[in-house]
A and B are shown apart, each in its own frame.
Chain A
Amino acid sequence: MSASEPGGGAGAPPDDRGPVTTLSTPIRLEYLFSAGIAQSKNLRGLAEGRFIGQRCPVCEKVYVPSRGSCPVDGVPTDEVVELANTGTVTTFCVVNVPFAGQSIEIPYICAMVLLDGADISFMGLIQEIPTDEVRMGLRVEAVWVPPDELAPSMASVRYFRPTGEPDADYETYKDYT
């Protein structure tokens, strides 16, 4: 019973640390993640160094990755489309702020990249170019990790780098910014 008495019960050494004012009670829940049929195709593509998207049969937009449905038309995006390794920077930001867990040396560029043939952009790093030269419309290509490091993850794409092509005309990506 001594354990339930304040101060540890009779015979416990005196404790002058004062009253307990806060109590930490960690909660941890573990989950499986279920990517779904459509996104699994995209993830398997990444493990092979390929970008796999899906096309909506109604509006014909190509989503990469697709969650299996066109969010505009609400119909299955059953047609699988392999996309190019090249794309266009639609928007970007220069990261100058250090934060916990940062794995890249600052400053670096985080950009939205619209792959050729896709109708939705996704985030990627831009490297092999000085940060002050990155711009909207910059043409880039994906640089993949070595074949033995490829995995069903966006981490398979190390970064994007300039292709050296002339910049894309604003008209070609203005609907995707």
Chain B
Amino acid sequence: MPTPPAPRQGHRPVAVVSFAQADNVRRESHRNEVETLMPVFSELFAATGAGITKDDIDFICSGSTDYLVGGPFSFVTALDAIGVWPPRRESHVEMDAAWALYEAWVALQEEGVDTALVYGFGKSSLGQLSKILCLQLDPYAMAPLWPDPVSLAALQARALIDAGRATEADFAAVAARSRRAALSNPKAQVAYDRTVDELLAEEYVVAPLRTHALPPITDGAAAVVLAAGDRAYQWAERPAWITGIDHRVETHALGARDLASSPSTAKAGQVAGVGAGPIDVAELHAPFAHQELILAEALGLGGGVDVNPSGGALAANALMAGGLIRIGEAAARVMAGTAGRAVAHATSGPLLQHNLVTVLEGE
């Protein structure tokens, strides 16, 4: 049996062995969350080729938020999609499911937990997303000031331009490349082949951001199976080993941050060991086009890296699943053998407040 690459964090090698996602759509008007997740789990388990079922899973962890649904405990009803009887060891984070994967990775460091199911789901279409996202800005004592997420992103983009590190044409180039890449992603929501000049001819939504620099509003779901040690080789021919994983958070006070840089991403990338070897593929969770530029700089990604071959969050932006999808897309390329070493990044909170970096490697 081959030997997994040594992990930089933890003591037990853990790998992504399967990944599946629902179609990313503007509005899933027929299926509820359970009905959306069930086929994802079926595809996920089938993809291992080992005939696994929920009974082979030692730990379950999900990421979602009740603010999207407008009802309490939506993560509990989502468990109906798995069938948690007899009782299962299960947990949930009110965050993007990339952080559920982090919790599962921690659980897998224990003997007795060899496998984990991680999933995230978000129906962003049900509520008024621009208002809902305002509520994460005033979490403690203040009244909502209601700056909408696009206006905030525009402030960040402006800061990047003012720092002399990017132009509006750079934003358009990111969007053009991402949407073109999305043409080969059957799960993508927004894909097209347009030139930078065509995109720059669009009207501003909030200057300096034009339509192309904004993410779509997306309903979606995704899931990953993790396995530790030998079990990974039983469930995947070429597991995507997590050799580094770390997350860092910055203050919620936007005025106290340099919005044009991402020191939390840089630190997480450093701890996860991004720079310890060449990178073939990077899946960066950058909902707004300019954020990809900030992240690539923070991670020190050079010109030879294939950034967001899936199209990234500009092609589909299912809240609470989008970060996990970055890990899944990066892992899928390692498992397919088209990448040897990949970086996946996930973000949470306004304007890249909280960032998680994962390094995935094949043999």
B81 touches A74 (CB 8 A): yes
Most buried by B among A39, A68, A74: A74
B34 touches A69 (CB 8 A): yes
A39 touches B41 (CB 8 A): no
Q: How far is the CB of B144 from chain A (nearest CB, A)?
A: 6
Of the listed stretches B100-108, B119-127, B200-208, B350-358, chain A binds: B119-127
Q: How far is the CB of A63 from chain B (nearest CB, A)?
A: 10
B143 touches A25 (CB 8 A): yes
A36 touches B30 (CB 8 A): yes
A71 touches B83 (CB 8 A): yes
Compute how far the CA of A74 lies from the CA of B78 in the bound complex, rounded to whole angstroms. 10
Compute how far the CA of A72 lies from the CA of B36 in the bound complex, rounded to whole angstroms. 17
Compute how far the CA of A9 lies from the CA of B125 in the bound complex, rounded to whole angstroms. 45
Compute how far the CA of A27 lies from the CA of B142 in the bound complex, rounded to whole angstroms. 12
Q: How far is the CB of A33 from chain B (nearest CB, A)?
A: 7
* Chain B 339-350: CB-based contact to A (< 8 A → 1; otherwise 0): 000000000000
B32 touches A74 (CB 8 A): no
B127 touches A31 (CB 8 A): yes
A71 touches B127 (CB 8 A): no
Compute how far the CA of A73 lies from the CA of B291 in the bound complex, rounded to whole angstroms. 42
For B135, list chain A residues within 8 Å (CB). Answer: 27
Contact residues, A11-59 vs B (CB, 8 A): 23, 25, 27, 29-40
Does B165 touch A at the CB level, under 8 Å? Answer: no
Compute how far the CA of A100 lies from the CA of B77 in the bound complex, rounded to whole angstroms. 29
Compute how far the CA of A70 lies from the CA of B34 in the bound complex, rounded to whole angstroms. 10
Compute how far the CA of A67 lies from the CA of B78 in the bound complex, rounded to whole angstroms. 10
Does A75 touch B at the CB level, under 8 Å? Answer: yes
For A117, list chain B residues within 8 Å (CB). Answer: none
> What band does the interface of chain B fall in when counting residues whose beta carbon is under 8 Å from A?
20 to 34
Q: How far is the CB of A84 from chain B (nearest CB, A)?
A: 25
Q: How far is the CB of A37 from chain B (nearest CB, A)?
A: 6
A29 touches B127 (CB 8 A): yes
Size of A's binding interface in residues, CB under 8 A: 25
B34 touches A67 (CB 8 A): yes
A74 touches B70 (CB 8 A): no
A69 touches B80 (CB 8 A): yes
A36 touches B83 (CB 8 A): no
Does A152 touch B at the CB level, under 8 Å? Answer: no
Q: How far is the CB of B73 from chain A (nearest CB, A)?
A: 13
Compute how far the CA of A106 lies from the CA of B54 in the bound complex, rounded to whole angstroms. 47
Most buried by B among A31, A33, A34: A34
CB within 8 Å for A74 and B82 given contacts A29-B128, A30-B127, A34-B123: yes
Residues of A within 8 A of B (CB): 23, 25, 27, 29-40, 67-76
Known: A31-B127, A74-B38. 14 other contacts (CB 8 A): A23-B143, A25-B144, A29-B67, A29-B128, A32-B125, A33-B126, A34-B29, A34-B123, A36-B32, A36-B34, A71-B83, A74-B54, A74-B82, A75-B83
A-B contact pairs, 14 of them (CB 8 A): A25-B143, A30-B127, A31-B69, A31-B127, A33-B126, A34-B29, A36-B30, A38-B32, A69-B34, A69-B80, A71-B79, A73-B83, A73-B85, A74-B83
